[in-house]
Amino acid sequence: MTDRIAQIWGTRTPYAQGARWPARVDQALAEGVGEDDVDAWVQSACLLCSNGCACDIAVKDGAMVGIRGRADDTVNHGRLGPKGLFASWQGMSNKDRLTTPLIRENGVLVETSWDTAMGRIVERSRQLLEETGPLSHGFHTSGQLFLEEYYALGVIGKAGLGTPHMDGNTRLCTATAAAALKESFGSDGQPGTYEDIDDCDAMFLFGHNMAETQTVLWSRVLDRIEGPDRPLLVCVDPRETEVARHADVHLAIRPGTNLALMHGLVREVLEHGWIDDSFIAEHTIRLEDVRAAVEPWTPEAVAETCGVPAADVRRAAEIFGTADRVLSTVLQGFYQSWQATAASCAVNNLHLLRGLIGKPGCGVLQMNGQPTAQNTRECGADGDLPGFRNWENPEHIRQLAELWGVDELKIPHWAPPTHAMQVFRYAEQGSIRLLWVSGTNPAVSMPELPRIRKILADTFLVVQDLYLTETAALADVVLPAAGWGEKTGTFTNINRTVHLSRQAVEPPGQARSDLDIFLDYARRMDFRRNDGSPLLDWSGPEDAYAAWQECTRGRLCDYTGISWTKLEGNGVQWPCNDKAPEGTERLYTDAVFPTDLDRCETYGHDLLTGATVGPTPYKAMAPQGRAIFKTAPYSPPPEEPSEDFPLRFTTGRTAYHFHTRTKTGRSRPLNDAAPGAWVEVSPADARAHGISEGDLVDVTSARGRIQVPVRVSDIAEGTVFAPFHYGYWDQPDGAEPRAANELTLTEWDPVSKQPIYKNAAVRIGRVAASTGPSPAPTTTASRPARGTGAGIEPTTGGPAGQASETVLEPEES
């Protein structure tokens, strides 16, 4: 047994370049339950981050009692991280689950029947349609539902109601991944694959604290690092993360300056001629735009703006320019930051310059935050059209109209689907008067919370969720949802791997799957096709999946070859069709990109302003299967430190929690590992403010304030960090504010519309002396600063944090 709270990544199984990552089956069972006691193992995949580790759920007496990894699956080779091991099932079987629908009567939520609750929604919905039309309806969904559920929601919104106001909280976590892929390559779709970790010579992690966000993926990297021929590692992150500790070059840049650094790296690569001229000539366009944008960004200029040594910029560029095979990954440090799309496109540009794409070990992985964010994007439940279709392309709209049997004019396509921040703005202004939130908790996860809470309280709000979240508590109608292990469906992870997750147990009380809820709404609203038949005649997830397969036929995300039978067992990577019956490991092996006028998902944007390019200029550019170098000039972030707010504030994640802790906060070993909020301050800033470990401080921005204990950590001087997971559902009434988003500002990237969570200016002031160390874990980026850890208990899991690890011998080949 291993303490998987203390050892987040488990025991090392080192391997060499090009070898297969050894399989190791991780397993955790409830206390007192042995393997022999398990009645059934039911196939699924973990739903607590975008890695989507394949697993089997242990069932005993109709309850989930544990989990183990699936050894043969391409994603995790049997491994599971702490969240998968403990929270996946413990987070579901909890006494706090919602079991009956609730409606608001005289200001309080009271229990009611499904019929009454749905009746109230439908009554409101019909009344608004009559008064104002579909623009009165807004939807805010999740990155945690199943594919079939998003597609149902997408069809309801676009062909049933006809509203463009539908987005996911994926806007907050992953919109920039999609935007950067679309701008550079013409379509969403992950170019690389996890196998690229096995083959690469160098890895660049751009704003990606992989060690905490996708712990199992980081195990794979660690096993390469400990292998005989470790890849070089470059880390861009203002914090001293686990990734930074293993890096050959750690660029601890100032939050908000990503694009300046990227310009510097691109410039160095160009300057030294580390480029593939024939690849550029044959497979790309508009290199001249990039040359112009990077021109001023010498390593010295980068050093000045970003606060890192020029020599490190040179060395990082040299590694990128000279390693044979380079893999890059990108996440929130870029996505939730200033100039997000431009900085993320710059990563694509680096790969295009060297032609390092579509080959083993040479991938780009534009990561996702949430487990099923990929499906939100594919299925049209966020600001995209289903099947990566282009809202500006009339032929694509015609295809959807034909699939759904409705008039083309019914499908809103006069502008891009409304992004989440704008949906909330319309609600604030009173033009969206029904807001339906499914599987997410904007009352904690959105920026500038005081404003968001007021909007939620003032709008007719429907919330479907597992628990009475901070958001559900403000709703007019609350619908109890069945979750992971309580329903059957599919979802897709970050490297295009589709998994089937089967129902293992009955949902609690009257809870229903999100799909059932959406289908019930569609039936009650009597949405119909032009021929008079019901718009959604699906009886369950298998019908929904079949309809989705049709929707993807011929598109980049082609699911037509992935039957549920094929998904029995292990995951399959799309596209999978007649031409690629076993799925596709990597995209763009032929360096032909989906930028053709007829095929592309977007005609692109100006990355500085977000102005759309439009069909005519796009046609004139004639990309014709070539990738596009997209860029923008660097501009400083909208909020920089000032006299009143002298410190840079940034937010992020810890390995032990997911999102707003609705599941992880209910798992004992995880909650004990990171029980409360904290703020990280560098030793120098702590000294300057007379603050020491554990002191209670106020952190204040122009928008709000939090009061939390201090962890003195090795974060870059001048920057402070707070984890965004902590809200109020497990706090007493009247507790001091602690949610990081009390402080963040409302602004978003002009192209991806992803909010900027990572750059705000704050001041910090001591409120009370320490009564003990802060609750921050010692095993992660929040560990005490070097030489300051005395007296701080290391984070361990005790008996509840134990899991078994079984390393399987490689099969003879």
Partner 1 sequence: MKLPVYLALIERSEETLAASYRVVSEGHAAEPDVHFLLQTLASQCDKHRRILAPVLERHQLSDESDVPESLHHEGLSSTRSGPLGLLRDLQDLYLAASLVDITWTMLLQAGQGLADRDLIEAVQQCDGETSTQLGWLRTRMKQAAPQALIAAG
49 binds ligand SF4 (CB under 6 A): yes
| Sheet strands (E) in 688-758 | 696-700, 705-712, 719-723
Report in angstroms how near the CB of residue 65 gets to ligand SF4 at its nearest: 17
527 contact choice in partner 1, ligand SF4, none (CB below 5 to 8 Å, kind-dependent): none
DSSP string, 451-503: HHHHHHHHSEEEEEESS--TTGGG-SEEEEBP-TTSS-EEEE-TTSEEEEE--
115: CB partners within 8 A, 6+ apart: none
State whether residue 651 is helix, strand or coil: strand
Compute the half-sphere exposure of residue 614: CA atoms within 13 Å on the CB side of its CA.
4
Residues 634 and 460: their CA atoms lie apart, in Å, by 41
One residue of 27, 44, 51, 393 binding ligand SF4 per CB under 6 A: 51
484: CB partners within 8 A, 6+ apart: 44, 47, 88, 92, 501
Report in angstroms how near the CB of residue 605 gets to partner 1 at its nearest: 8
Report in angstroms how near the CB of residue 716 gets to partner 1 at its nearest: 25
Report in angstroms how near the CB of residue 425 gets to ligand SF4 at its nearest: 33
Residues 712 and 787: their CA atoms lie apart, in Å, by 11
- Percent helix, strand, coil in the chain, to 5, is 35, 20, 50
Report in angstroms how near the CB of residue 572 gets to partner 1 at its nearest: 38
Which residues of this chain interact with partner 1, rule CB under 8 A? 132-133, 135-136, 164, 414-416, 418, 421-422, 425-426, 429-432, 606, 608-614, 635, 638, 745-748, 750
User: Which is nearer to partner 1, 359 or 453 (by Cβ)?
Assistant: 453
Residues 558 and 489: their CA atoms lie apart, in Å, by 17
Report in angstroms how near the CB of residue 219 gets to ligand SF4 at its nearest: 9
Report in angstroms how near the CB of residue 425 gets to partner 1 at its nearest: 7
Report in angstroms how near the CB of residue 295 gets to partner 1 at its nearest: 13
User: Which is nearer to ligand SF4, 215 or 707 (by Cβ)?
Assistant: 215
Report in angstroms how near the CB of residue 391 gets to partner 1 at its nearest: 11
Give me the amino acid identity at 633.
P
Q: How many CB atoms lie within 10 A of CB 565?
A: 8
One residue of 90, 215, 651, 741 binding ligand SF4 per CB under 6 A: 215
Report in angstroms how near the CB of residue 135 gets to partner 1 at its nearest: 4
53 binds ligand SF4 (CB under 6 A): yes
Report in angstroms how near the CB of residue 221 gets to ligand SF4 at its nearest: 12
426: CB partners within 8 A, 6+ apart: 138, 165, 418, 432
52 binds ligand SF4 (CB under 6 A): yes
Question: Alpha-carbon torsion 536, 538, 544, 548, what sign?
Answer: negative
283 contact choice in partner 1, ligand SF4, none (CB below 5 to 8 Å, kind-dependent): none
User: Which is nearer to partner 1, 454 or 687 (by Cβ)?
Assistant: 454
Stretch that binds ligand SF4, among 43-51, 145-153, 278-286, 708-716 (CB under 6 A): 43-51
User: Which is nearer to ligand SF4, 50 or 440 (by Cβ)?
Assistant: 50
User: Which is nearer to ligand SF4, 46 or 477 (by Cβ)?
Assistant: 46
Helical ranges in 226-329 per DSSP H? 242-246, 258-271, 277-283, 287-294, 299-306, 310-322
Cβ atoms of residues 626 and 595 within 8 Å: yes
Residues 357 and 589: their CA atoms lie apart, in Å, by 7
228 contact choice in partner 1, ligand SF4, none (CB below 5 to 8 Å, kind-dependent): none
164 binds ligand SF4 (CB under 6 A): no
222 binds ligand SF4 (CB under 6 A): no
Q: Which of 630, 160, 140 is nearest to 427 (CA)?
A: 140
46 contact choice in partner 1, ligand SF4, none (CB below 5 to 8 Å, kind-dependent): ligand SF4
429 contact choice in ligand SF4, partner 1, none (CB below 5 to 8 Å, kind-dependent): partner 1
Give the distance from CA 806 to its chain's centroid.
30
Nearest residue by C-beta to ligand SF4? 84
User: Which is nearer to ligand SF4, 163 or 501 (by Cβ)?
Assistant: 501
User: Which is nearer to ligand SF4, 45 or 323 (by Cβ)?
Assistant: 45
51 contact choice in ligand SF4, partner 1, none (CB below 5 to 8 Å, kind-dependent): ligand SF4
User: Which is nearer to ligand SF4, 393 or 493 (by Cβ)?
Assistant: 493
Q: Which of 480, 482, 467, 446 is nearest to 662 (CA)?
A: 467
User: Which is nearer to ligand SF4, 165 or 657 (by Cβ)?
Assistant: 657
Rg (CA), the chain: 25
Q: How many CB atoms lie within 10 A of CB 457?
A: 13
Within the chain, how many helices (H) and strands (E) appear? 28, 29
Give helix 258-271 / helix 287-294 axis angle, nearest 10°: 110
Report in angstroms how near the CB of residue 375 gets to partner 1 at its nearest: 25
State whether residue 112 is helix, strand or coil: coil
Phi, psi of 805 (to 5 degrees): -130, 120
417 binds ligand SF4 (CB under 6 A): no
Q: Site mask, ligand SF4, residues 685-714, x = CB under 6 A?
A: ------------------------------
215 contact choice in partner 1, ligand SF4, none (CB below 5 to 8 Å, kind-dependent): ligand SF4
One residue of 163, 214, 305, 393 binding ligand SF4 per CB under 6 A: 214
User: Which is nearer to partner 1, 385 or 515 (by Cβ)?
Assistant: 385
Cβ atoms of residues 283 and 355 within 8 Å: yes
Report in angstroms how near the CB of residue 90 gets to partner 1 at its nearest: 39
Residues 777 and 493: their CA atoms lie apart, in Å, by 27
Output 530-533 pairs: Cβ under 8 A, ≥24 positions apart: 530/405, 530/406, 530/407, 531/405, 533/405
610 contact choice in partner 1, ligand SF4, none (CB below 5 to 8 Å, kind-dependent): partner 1
Report in angstroms how near the CB of residue 608 gets to partner 1 at its nearest: 7
Report in angstroms how near the CB of residue 511 gets to partner 1 at its nearest: 33
Enter the tokens of residue 149: 């559920």
8 binds ligand SF4 (CB under 6 A): no
Region label for 361, one of left (φ > 0), alpha (ψ between -120 and 50) or beta (otherwise): left
772 contact choice in partner 1, ligand SF4, none (CB below 5 to 8 Å, kind-dependent): none
Longest dimension (CA), the chain: 74
Beta bridge partners of 546: none
One residue of 23, 48, 535, 745 binding ligand SF4 per CB under 6 A: 48
Residues 119 and 114: their CA atoms lie apart, in Å, by 8
User: Which is nearer to ligand SF4, 332 or 719 (by Cβ)?
Assistant: 332
214 contact choice in ligand SF4, partner 1, none (CB below 5 to 8 Å, kind-dependent): ligand SF4
Write out the binding residues for ligand SF4, residues 79-98 only, by CB under 6 A.
80-81, 83-84
Residues 749 and 89: their CA atoms lie apart, in Å, by 36
Stretch that binds ligand SF4, among 44-52, 328-336, 418-426, 681-689 (CB under 6 A): 44-52
User: Which is nearer to partner 1, 220 or 433 (by Cβ)?
Assistant: 433
Report in angstroms how near the CB of residue 84 gets to ligand SF4 at its nearest: 2
User: Which is nearer to ligand SF4, 80 or 739 (by Cβ)?
Assistant: 80
Report in angstroms how near the CB of residue 703 gets to partner 1 at its nearest: 12
The binding site for ligand SF4 (CB under 6 A) comprises 46, 48-49, 51-53, 76, 80-81, 83-84, 214-216
